[in-house]
Amino acid sequence: MSPQSLNYTDAAILAPMVRIGTLPVRLMALEYGADLVYTPEVVDKGIVGCERVVNEDNGTIDYLSKGVSIFRTHPSEKSKLVFQIGSANADLALQAALTVAQDVSTIDLNCGCPKRFSIHGGMGAALMEEPEKLCGILKNLVDNCGLPVTCKIRIFPDRERTLKLVKMIEATGIKALAVHCRYRDERPREPGHWDRFKEIVDAVSIPVIANGDIKEFADMARIRELSGCTGVMIARGAEANVSIFRKEGRLPLMDIVRQYMRRCLETRNHHANTKYCVMQMFIEDTKSPYYRPLCDAKSFRAVCKVFEMEGELDAWVKKQEEHGWPTDLDSAPRKAAESKEKDAKAMAAANGKANGKAKNTTTADVKMVEVVAESTLGKRKQGDLKDEAAVVVASISASVEAVEGTPAAKKHAAGDGASSQPTPADTPQPDVEIEVEVTTTTTTTVTTATSTPLA
């Protein structure tokens, strides 16, 4: 029996966005009216082999690699959740889909992202240059993953080439096609080609989801009327203010910021991802009084302090401690998880050397701080990891040999977007254009926003 596809009719959809589309934002998008939500792209090798763990304190589900969450979800979003895979290999894509199949409703193949972290190894928009490979991956997923399959592409400047590709893709049996209205080399500052949607809608019989330049709720009706598309996908508009999905209009920014912070507490979102997402909400106003303090925030508490939410953090910590549940929102466990055994062996070897060459380890400690700083959630400033790195440095042996025996972990070649947590080396990281932590804008009107508890 064919898997039941999601309903795309007049659907308002949260687009897949690196680092932005993590669990707190997805939950808020659904709360404010989104019909479907996409995960950020998760590279196949990053999710294959992960351990599935249900968290006792909040019911969230983590897919862990070496103790670090690669993908976090909650059962309340499953019926509307699309899991986007980055892959250039049919077998790995299938393994990735099967890994998460019990917790998502649809599998999407990323065939449109033009960023280096995505096209690395032939993924993302690179697949459009190899349509046979692209369709082979989709066909394998359609035939074997047990869930509806979709994909997301960009357009070629050549109209006929675009139409030929979408017809090939439709023939694989996918349930819907999302189309971003820019060419591979075009960026958000360049206007999208809304006029190209209708020809694609007319060329295929499956639902077509329009993506690109949706900045207001009213834009969704305009693009449907212009193109005849089935659904509309929102990216940057939701990044700036996720209440864009409200029919009644967007809420004041400060309401959204505080609501988002509460969701981050409920879901135990890592502070680095929390800070990054909040900074994108302030991207239009670098002169905001919140901007500089937010840039300087080095912990979840520091971010809470910027918005006068320390009391809510204290209440949450107290509740967690009373139940014996986790309270750490600041740690970067990947380095510790990867190097613990190697460090122990190196320290044992160093201690076993007669008259070991004990030296001042300041230089070695600094090197280790730098190693930690280049991990976790993309190209962040080393200062943002000072508190986390201190934990690692404290465990370094007083012997230079012990430190030198611990090789630096591989630098991320490409990236996640997959989770709020640090990601393994196999998961690609966003490039500089996405990672720059610009920020700003604030609204002086503050009203009380209610938080819906996790179901």
pLDDT tens track, the chain, 455 positions: 567 789 999 999 999 999 999 999 999 999 999 999 999 999 999 999 999 999 999 999 999 998 899 999 999 999 999 999 999 999 999 999 999 999 999 999 999 888 887 887 899 999 999 999 999 999 999 999 999 999 999 999 999 999 999 999 999 999 999 999 888 877 777 777 878 899 999 999 999 999 888 888 888 999 999 999 999 999 999 999 999 999 999 999 999 999 999 999 999 999 999 999 999 999 887 788 988 899 999 999 999 999 999 999 999 999 999 999 999 898 655 444 444 556 666 666 666 654 444 444 444 443 333 333 333 333 333 344 343 333 333 333 322 223 233 333 333 333 333 333 333 323 333 332 333 333 333 333 333 344 445 65
Task: Identify the active-site residue in 50, 113, 229, 295.
Answer: 113
**DSSP letter at 193?**
-
Q: Is CATH 3.20.20.70 correct for 8-455?
A: yes
19 φ/ψ angles, rounded to the nearest 5 degrees = 70, -20
Q: What integer pLDDT is reported at residue 164 of this predicted model?
A: 96
What is the rounded distance in angstroms from the CA atom of residue 186 to the CA atom of residue 227? 21
Give the pairing type, strands 61-65 and 51-54: antiparallel
Gap between the Cα atoms of 221 and 313, Å rounded: 40
Q: Are strands 176-180 and 149-153 parallel, antiparallel or unpaired?
A: parallel
**For the chain, the helix, strand and coil percentages under 3-state DSSP, each to the nearest 5:** 45, 15, 40
Residues recorded for the chain: 455
Element (H, E) at 435: helix 432-435
How confident is the model at residue 365, as a pLDDT? 41
* SS3 sequence of 300-368: HHHHHHHCCCHHHHHHHHHHHHHHCCCCCCCCCHHHHHHHHHHHHHHHHHHHHCCCCCECCCHHHHHHH
Give the pTM.
0.76
277 catalytic? Reply is no
- The domain locations on the chain are 8-455
Question: 347, 401 in Cβ contact below 8 A?
Answer: no
Return the closest-CA partner of residue 44 out of 82, 1, 98.
98
For residues 262 and 256, give the distance between their C-alpha atoms in angstroms, rounded to a whole number: 10
Predicted pLDDT at 224: 92
